[in-house]
Structures are given as C-alpha cells and as structure tokens.
Chains A and B, each alone.
Chain A
Amino acid sequence: MQTYLPIAEVSVNAFLLLGLGGLVGILSGMFGVGGGFLITPLLFFIGIPPAVAVATGANQIVASSFSAVLAHFRRRTVDLAMGSVLLTGGLVGSGLGVFVFNYLKSLGQVDLLVRLCYVIFLGVVGALMFVESLNALRKARKAQVGARPPRRPRTLVHALPFKMRFRTSGQYMSVIPPLMIGLAVGVLAAIMGVGGGFIMVPAMIYLLGMPTKVVVGTSLFQIIFVTAFTTMLHATTNQTVDIVLAVYLILGGVIGAQIGTQIGLKLKAEQLRVLLAALVLAVCGKLALELLIQPAELYNLTELGRH
C-alpha cells in the first residue's frame, strides 16, 4: 500500500514505514535510547529528504519514548529528580547546539561534521560499553550466587558542592555533574539530530554510577522533552515535520516500545549493555565505511528554495 507524504513529497510503502517504526520502538523500549541514531539513517535509505527525516524522526521519538516511559513509571524505574536535573542542562545545551549548528552551516561542511560526530561518538561509546559489559558478564559468571557487589569507590562526583539526594538511584551527590552531562548531551543532540540516549545512558552508568534499570527510564524521561523541543523548532523554522510519515512511524513505534520494554525486563543488565554496545558499533561501522569507501555516485543534489 503506497502513501504519498505531503511534506516529504515522496510516495512510500506504508507497511515499510510501520515496520521501521516498530523496529526502532523495540530498541527504544529495551535500551532507553530514543533510536534517533537509527531511524534517521534508515529514513535516508528509503528516500526521505534528510531535513524531513531528521525533523520527523524527532517527532517519532517523542511518541515511542512516551510510551516506554509510562511502562517504566509503573515499575518505578524513573528517577524524576535526576531526570529534571539532566533535562535542565539538556534544554540549555540544545539551545546552544542549534546555535553551534547554524554557525557551522555558515562555514559549510556541516554534513561531514555531523557524520564524523556520529562515527566518533558511536565508536567511542560503543567500544567502551562493549569491553566493560563483557568484563562484567565474565565477572558475574565467576562470582558465587548471592555475592554482594563491591561498593562503588568515591570519586570526584561525590566531592562537589550542591549535593542532592536521588532516592530512586540511591545516590547522594552534587547536581553539577548531571547538569554538565545534560548540557553536553543537549549540544550533541541538536547537532546530530538525535535524542542523545546512546550517550546519556552510558554517561549515567559510568560517570554517575546509577543502576542500569533506573538509567533507562530516566534517560527516556528526559529524551521526551528534548525531542519535543527539537520537533517544535523544526516545525516552526524549517517546516520539515511530515505528520503523515510521523503517524506511520509512531503507530509502529509505540507498539514496538511496549514489546521492547518487556524484553528489556527479562534480560540481565549486563546482557542489555552488550547488546546496545554491539548495535551502536554496527551503526558506527556502517557510517565509517560510507566515509572510507568510494561512493558509486560521486555527485549529490540539493534542491535550493525548497526545504
């Protein structure tokens, strides 16, 4: 069944869109990532203009994250206090990010920069997570059943002022590190056109020492607001949000997110992390290959005065 998308101005198969949305929704529910780093390249691949793909992807992420976060709320795996602190940093960061993006655009080569950003961040984050979670898996296998995990060492994170108690995460720490992380992720999110979950999740686990189960829900919570902000920004300035495309992706996505959350609850935290790391590395590899291998068509077109 073909559907013509009014803003993207292309005709695509509706079931393909539902499938794409569903796939990304499952991942979103499992890992607490918005899936922006997946949906945007996938939409490019089926022929949606990049500007529309980025903007509509953001809108789709709002829906799947909202659906998934409700499931996490019921399980009490959302740290609202931590989420709000991250979000405060995140919104300031995305405002800054848009400014940086426009500045880079005026210099040209913004496409390359976004791509390099993807490769570097996905590569570093993926590799770190992969190694760490494999080690954790190995240790968990060796350890006796019921053995208590060692206490986390006190780091710089615990020595800063403005301390706050985050009950759900079982943390008592300064608000400065989460604010800074939120800010940094916000900047990157705006430049790369994603929610930033794939950076936020490992940052919360490794830098803030939060338990993995809480991290996913909390990440989703703040992604909703960052992507909603991005959607509005795109809709009002570039008019590139395609609502018909969004509805198909959302329909697939919200169902996928529910399934994903169930799968996520059945898996061990370490297994979840290995899988997410593998996925991040796979996307990174694909993008890196595109930069390194000579493309079949050296030329590309940008229609001016539209989009």
Chain B
Amino acid sequence: MWRQFALLLLLMFPLAASAQEEVVLGLSSDRVAITTSFDGSEILIFGAVKRETPIPADPLEIVITVAGPSHPVLVRRKANQLGIWVNTDAVEVDAAPSFYAVATTNRWANVLSDTEDLRHKVSIGRAIRSVGAPMEITNAPDFTEALIRIRQKSGLYQMLEGKIALDQQTLFRTAIDMPSDLTEGDYTARIFLTRQGAVVSQYETTINVRKVGLERWLYMLSRQQSILYGLMSLAIAIIAGWGASAAFTMIRNR
C-alpha cells in the first residue's frame, strides 16, 4: 500500500513540476481512413508550447513518437544444416508495435537522456518489449535488432532525427509518412518536451486508423460470417470462370 502510494507520488511529481510548459497540439487528421485506393498517408503533427513563465535558458527540444498497436512477433533465424538453409532458432518478442516513428528536433544524444528514454520507452529499441529468450539462445539481442532492421527497411519503423522544425522555442511541426501496409487500430502520438535530456512535459493523443466502406465490410464479413464469405468467394470464382468462357465462345462464333 505504502509502496504504491510512494510510486504514485513519484509519478505525479514530474508532471506537477512541468506544469509551467504545456503542449497545445494540432494534427492534420486524427483519423486515417483505409479505403480501396489507400496508398499510404502523411500525417502532419504541429503545435505550440504554452507557458506562463519566461523561457528558461536551456534550449527546448521536442520528441514526437507515433506508435501502432503492439503484437507479439516470432523472430526466426536461419542456419546452414546439411547444406540447406533452415529456420533453427526462434525468439518471441512479447510486444512490438506494428508501426513506430520517432521524430526529434536535434541529434538523439542531445535530446533525451538514457534514463528518461528507459522511463518513457521512446527510442525504437525501447519501444519493443522482449522479456525472456529461451535458455539455449545466447545472443537474444541479435533477434530484436533483426526485427528493427527488417521493419526499418520496409518503412514501418522510422528514426527521424532533426526532422521537427521548431521556431522561437514555441511553434513546432513535423510530417510522418505512414506506409501503405498499415494495420488497423488506435495509434498513439506522444509529444515530449525536453530540456537537457530530461522530460519537462508530455502530451498524448490517439490517431484512429480504420478500414472504411467496402474494405471494412469485407473484413468484418470474413471474420463474422466466414462461411458466407467463403461461399461468396467461390461464387465469384465460378461466375467469372463461366463468364469468361461464354464471352470467348461468343467472340469465336462471330
């Protein structure tokens, strides 16, 4: 009980201390609609720092993260056995966001200290939660690195150092590209204000990424009425097959 109370105090303290500077945020859209012609999306995140006291001497830095819903991921490694490449070792990463972008105003080292990163889980490596690897796997970090590398290559994980524009230590804006193979869910955008590597204020909001229209209808049908969906798929196949055959016969007979 006392420990929980102490923890609560500890958690409240930085918030109370940082009340001097607050984020007022704007988003180009708080909803991403996945339609049939969806081809990725760009989200503009902009805002201002509201303060009642004069600007402190230390320079203000900003970190913005956008994270998709987290899922467990199985990372497998191939090794050469008897001349062929086989999946041998596997490590389950307990929770990895399906999308993760970090944008900063400056070089990473100047923006956030390691302890603050650990506390708020900001950097890509920290945003991934990996608890236990099997005993026989000696180099578990390699697997997490591989996960990050593969997802960075496909644009799902992005490290955007110095990509936030900050004017007069007050107005900031950045654009984050979301690739076309997004998964549905609630994406969280977090904005951290930091001075000398310490978080002085933070703000969080949600971006809804949802399939709409036909996409939504088909998706729901496939989950809730899977037999009907399967029969519909077969019906389309049979009708299309018959249609093409009939059309070609007509063309030939002419």
Interface residues of chain A, those whose CB is within 8 Å of chain B, are 1-4, 6-7, 9-11, 47, 59-60, 62-68, 70-71, 74, 109, 111-112, 228, 231-232, 234-236, 239, 241, 243-244, 246-247, 250-251, 254-255, 257-258, 290-295, 297-306
Contacts and interface: CB of A to CB of B under 8 A. Distances in A.
Nearest to B218: A6
Contacts of A239: 222-223, 226, 229
Contact of A231 (B80, B146, B181, B234): B234
A58 B117 CA distance: 48
Contacts of A295: 78, 85
A305 B229 contact: no
A124 to B, nearest CB: 17
Contacts of B219: 6-7
Interface string B160-197: 00000000000000000000111110000000000000
Contacts of A68: 241
Interface string B212-244: 001110110011001101111110111011111
A232 B237 CA distance: 12
B129 interface: no
B237 A304 contact: no
A62 B37 contact: no
A228 B234 CA distance: 7
Interface residues of B, number: 62
A268 B76 CA distance: 48
A135 B242 CA distance: 38
B73 interface: yes
B183 A9 contact: yes
18 contacts: A9-B182, A11-B40, A62-B237, A62-B238, A71-B248, A74-B249, A231-B230, A231-B234, A232-B227, A235-B226, A244-B36, A247-B236, A250-B237, A257-B241, A258-B244, A298-B77, A299-B143, A301-B73
A157 to B, nearest CB: 33
B55 interface: no
Contacts of B249: 74
A197 to B, nearest CB: 16
A221 B244 CA distance: 17
B242 A304 contact: no
Contacts of B234: 59, 62, 228, 231-232
Contacts of A303: 71-74, 98
Contact of B245 (A2, A7, A10, A254): A254
B164 to A, nearest CB: 27
Contacts of A297: 146, 150
B75 A70 contact: no
B84 interface: yes
